[in-house]
Amino acid sequence: MPEFKLYPSILSADFSQLGKQIQETETCGADGIHIDVMDGHFVPSITFGTPIIKAVRDLTGLPLDIHMMTVRPENHFSEFASAGADSITVHYEASPELKDTLALLDKFDVRKCVALNPETPIEKIYDIIPLVDQILIMSVQPGAGGQDFIPESLKKIETLSKEIESQGLSIPIQVDGGINPDTTLKAVQSGANIVVAGSAVFNEDFPICDGISNLRNSSI
């Protein structure tokens, strides 16, 4: 079974104990922290912005993976990069001129990433694969936690993995949404390299270390 990186999503964290929980994820073996930025336009919800990115940056040395579920994401590249982002993901569906958006993002010292919603055909991004450092396959509809994994996402991951290989590239595939030990195993088997998990890590029913361990052990 291929190894994978695990990025807990603070969308499911207890914000009254955010510092403690982020430090626990680092101690328990997380590989990065996933921060969802929602603007109330591209998706209905409104979540985190620059102050949270700065606060989390002060709490951990883990890579900060910023997932921008926003229209006109380029308006915030500079402030997010300055706040401590290590990677910034923009949505294909929110960036009509995606190549231009990625060119703007290339001006900052961050990993350039693109995300696709469940209904978007994977073929839509074949031409920009060489321009990015990471691709995110949404396995739920963006904008809310706690949704069930969409099984068709596995075929998209597999197809994308083969296309990346056919282009002679080595670009990580990230999967986000409905992640639990069972779906982690299936996603990694399909070609995912990075798994984003929310309630499977941050959950009042079990400790963070147990959540991380359960996800890790799913691929053994």
pLDDT of residue 44: 78
Tally of domains within the chain: 1
pLDDT of residue 1: 56
pLDDT band for 156, please (50, 70, 90 cuts).
Answer: very high
pLDDT tens profile 84-120: 999 999 999 999 999 999 999 999 999 999 999 999 9
Residue 36 falls in the annotated catalytic set:
yes
Residue 83 has pLDDT above 60, yes or no: yes
CATH (domain of 11): 3.20.20.70
CA 63 to CA 61: how far, in whole Å?
7
Structural domain boundaries, residue 157: 5-217
Q: Which residues, 6+ apart, have CB-to-CB distance to 110 below 8 Å?
A: 77, 80, 81, 85, 86, 87, 88
| Active-site option among 36, 58, 182, 205 | 36
State residue 114 phi and psi, 5-degree precision: -130, 145
For residues 143 and 200, the model is more confident at 200
CA 99 to CA 131: how far, in whole Å?
8
State residue 120 phi and psi, 5-degree precision: -85, 125
Residue 100 falls in the annotated catalytic set:
no
pLDDT tens profile 2-26: 789 999 999 999 999 999 999 999 9
| Active-site option among 65, 100, 176, 182 | 176
* Mean of per-residue pLDDT scores for the chain: 94
